[in-house]
Structure 1
Amino acid sequence: MAFEIRKIRTPQGRKKLVREREEYFRLVDQGVSSREACRIVGINRRTGKRWRNGTNPTKNGTNPTKRRPAQTAHTALAERVISASRHLTANERLYIADHWRAGAGVRTIAVQLNRHPSTISRELKRNAHPTSGDYRPHAAQARAESRRPRPKPAKLAQNPELRQYVQERLNKRWSPEQIVQHLHRDFPDRPEMHVVHETIYQAIYVQGRGELRRELAKALRTGRARRKPRRLAQQRQPRYSHPMVMISERPAEVDDRAVPGHWEGDLIIGKDNGSAIGTLVERSTRYVMLLHLSNGRTTELVRDALVEAMKTLPSHLTRSLTWDQGSEMGRHHEFTLATDIPVYFCDPASPWQRGSNENTNGLLRQYFPKGTDLSVHGREDLDAVAAELNGRPRKTLGWETPAERLHTLLAAA
């Protein structure tokens, strides 16, 4: 008879889910996955995982609770196959102990338990007996459980000698890294006197972990009383003085390439960053225009070259320009005022947002190889390369050429 999920779903209080628990383990023993067993008996997947791993979270951390009846070592493999836990179980530790004593290697045990060899090697080194070096599974399990609860007491708070050593050297304006290295040199055989430099920083900066006096922060190189967070790419300072309009605000019509007149732009850079060529690609036709920047790539020169190029086109083919956040576009607002063309900027480190332009830059490297001086190419050379690219048939255009597509648009206007 199929298991019937209880209809009353209110919390059970002190009454445990005995019937669900028994059915869950019965299904697991039959080879049903943990996720499917949870679905059948009507419990959350985390509840099943908690039953399987033998721990139950409380307000003060994790405390051992009633465990599943012990299984013999030869069933550990089957339990691991259906287990999603990243922690070794008691049965797996029994399996490791039995086979390690029998002479099996680390990789052999790892394959049998479907674990990474590093997991087994780390377990044997970390949880071995400190004196004899023997691996005792029940003691190893106890040590692993004692390390699991959080939060852990800070090492500097527990060891007055270590705390005094660190404070004295901070007063001498030593850096945390210098202190850590001297701890290893002065106390080579006392691991309780060893910490990493992050431990010292945490003791100074983190609220609630002030094992070191807060005034010691003034002895650090920076002298900051608060830690300065590292910025992510999305949190960087504005690159330009005038606000950017991001690509997320670009009209939806640009994405499907159905409406012509939306351009993507970039620079290809020459040897030693000393020269550059501007590239423009129209998104719907893949038509290419090259900007001659013989005198450099300052913001004024790039602005003027863009204005000159866009004024050669009819208004219905100059709807928008998308660029990366290169410093050469520092005068983007002046370009917009001169041409009435809005500029949209890609997100940091997101070249795929200008895919057509990036692809074209790769094609241009056939003519302008990396590591060469691009200033030797004149206006006529750039026009010839652009004409050759625009005369190539493209698969994405149904084997038409960009020049033919652009001519069709101009004729229709």
Structure 2
Amino acid sequence: MTKVRRAAKKRGPAPLADKRDQYLRLMAQGMSNSAACREVGINRRTGTRWRYGRKEIDRTGRERVYAPITEQPDDGAISARFLSEDERIVIAEMLQAGGSLRTIAKELGRAPSTISREVRRNRDPRTGRYRPFHAQRRAAVRRARSKQGKIRRDPELKEFIQDHLDRRWSPEQISQALRTTFPDEPDRHLAHETIYQAIYLPHRGGLERRADTLRTGRQARRRRRRVDQRATRFIDPGTLIGQRPADVDDRQVPGHWEGDLVVGRGNRSAIGTLVDRTTRYVKLLHLPEGRTAEHVRDALLHAFADLPAELTRSLTWDQGSEMCRHDEFSRASGIPVYFCEPASPWQRGSNENTNGLLRQYFPKGTDLSVHTAEDLTAVAAELNNRPRKILDWQTPADLFAKLVATVE
């Protein structure tokens, strides 16, 4: 049997192009950025730049935006459901040896109709012979689609969208306006996601990407992760807020606390804040030596040491790096720690409100290391003795004192 073989053609300078292709394949299979970078042997930041693009400032001070790498490696198979170049080579060899279509299909693990359709569509129309590399090119041409998209191909449509973007319309508003303006032209009806992609990838979509194109000011898509894939970034991933007991949400059971850090000028100093979800009672953590995970862990243990177990049921925090030793704190205190979803401060509403009140005493941009432990105690006492509307004009200090007296 005559062997039909051809050396694979490399794209770009090796070995970087090979690593990029391997990285894209792993990401397409659902692997995380960190895992794909470890597998390929590149820095995690390199993979992030490939996936999301990057911005650089050149010598003249001008900002240059590099689009993300989205093209799939050209290895002859876009998807497993398409025949690859190697499979076409096998088809050619077995046809030359007199094999039937069913025999070829069985050999490749394909349906006989797939092999029949492949031979009929991609054989040489002049000679009737099936040549694998010729068939591969014919299949690629047939599968190819325009990369320009509707907006780039239609100047009037592009002008309409760009004009409304300049008037501060959102892509979703523009999407609805297109249906009203061009009711009888469905080819000009676009989903708002299409407009977003035309902005984020101007080399394909044709729209201008500037800092003021979108009201958010973004020039690149914000990274997101599916809800079922989210986790904390610590060695011990901890427990997300969705697994917190249901009785925490109704605020009827005391002893469930929310915590955070109030950060000073240049992120060089900080004060820890704790608030009980039921009574709104406030405790402040003195961090004179820094806000590392060790300092925060020790300050939390000290703050909860004098409280009865009935008033230390749980602690909810954000995913700041200062809590990466949460497992050590939980083992030492017996208090479980729950973490909010990323960029979701409303999941610690009481604590966020308290932090806003504390800024009257500790303004933003000031050095918080100048405040002593006695200063923090005085501020906490002032807040705790202030009547609150949400507590029917009772004070957090009175309510918390009653609870302490009840459980002791």
Q: When the two structures are superposed, what TM-score results if normalisation uses the length of structure 2?
A: 0.47
Q: When the two structures are superposed, what TM-score results if normalisation uses the length of structure 1?
A: 0.47
Structure with greater Cα Rg: 1
